[in-house]
């Protein structure tokens, strides 16, 4: 008698509609590529029209399905108008964010507003718009929020960034509870320092680079490719029982 074996859940996303904020470069671009490679139809959102158009064209050229939409997610009326005009998405990757590394002694009100408005407020209301459409149209799916290891620990000159990322970690847990009844899952990815066009200038400071590498126990900076598998996993049925959790991809930073 042949033994019945369990079936590995699929990591494929064929027929799924995904939207990624801050998708023009770095982590957001990598997330969009990963989702498209897994079969999703991906909408790339960013303020940088040229970058996302080029990214969508490159994804389509390799056989994926992608479209670019210029959208400033800090403009909440524009956010509402965009999502109201769209069929429901199955997958949201909240990636857009910013950082102003300063001591708490030097942070201005403008600095505070710039970081918290984009990293928290805009993320909150994008999520609200996406989930309202999902619920109305009876679509299940996955919300993925890019936070940071700094949403689990503190760091010097990171008071604003930590405040925003800890906020997202808390938000994630709460909305996971709100949305579970609708079959909508919510999780975070919390990376260590990832080498991107945004972060690369910081690593030109050799002392700063040395301090970072001392904390990353695997001894190297993260690359965007280190996050792509996690994006697909959290978007797919392979993580079907996972919600309200965080995948900390930090090379061991938070292990001690």
In whole angstroms, what is the distance from residue 213 CA to residue 193 CA?
A: 9
Catalytic residue among 83, 89, 161, 193: 161
What separation in angstroms does the CA of 12 have from each of 209, 233, 238, 245? 37, 9, 9, 21
Are the C-beta atoms of residues 141 and 186 closer than 8 Å to each other?
no
Is 182 known to be catalytic?
no
SS3 readout for 120-172: HHHHHHHHHHHHHHHHHCCCCEEEEEECCHHHCCCCCCEHHHHHHHHHHHHHH
Which residues are designated catalytic? 161
């Amino acid at each position: 008698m042949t033994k019945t074996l369990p079936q590995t859940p699929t990591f494929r996303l064929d027929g799924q509609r995904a939207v990624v904020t801050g998708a023009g470069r770095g982590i957001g671009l990598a997330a969009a590529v990963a989702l498209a490679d897994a079969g999703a139809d991906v909408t790339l959102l960013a303020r940088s029209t040229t970058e996302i158009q080029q990214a969508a064209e490159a994804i389509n050229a390799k056989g994926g399905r992608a479209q670019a939409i210029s959208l400033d997610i800090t403009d909440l009326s524009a956010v509402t108008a965009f999502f109201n005009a769209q069929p429901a998405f199955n997958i949201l990757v909240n990636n857009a964010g910013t950082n102003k590394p300063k001591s708490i002694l030097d942070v201005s009100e403008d600095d505070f507003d710039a970081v918290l408005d984009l990293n928290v407020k805009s993320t909150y209301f994008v999520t609200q718009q996406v989930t309202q459409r999902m619920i109305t149209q009876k679509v299940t799916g996955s919300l993925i929020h890019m936070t940071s290891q700094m949403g689990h620990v503190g760091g010097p000159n990171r008071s604003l960034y930590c405040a925003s990322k800890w906020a997202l970690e808390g938000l994630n847990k709460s909305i996971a509870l709100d949305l579970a009844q609708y079959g909508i899952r919510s999780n975070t990815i919390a990376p260590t320092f990832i080498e991107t066009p945004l972060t690369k200038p910081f690593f030109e400071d050799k002392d700063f680079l040395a301090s970072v590498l001392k904390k990353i126990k695997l001894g190297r900076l993260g690359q965007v490719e280190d996050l792509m598998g996690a994006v697909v996993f959290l978007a797919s049925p392979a993580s079907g029982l996972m919600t309200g959790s965080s995948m900390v991809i930090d090379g061991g930073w938070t292990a001690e």
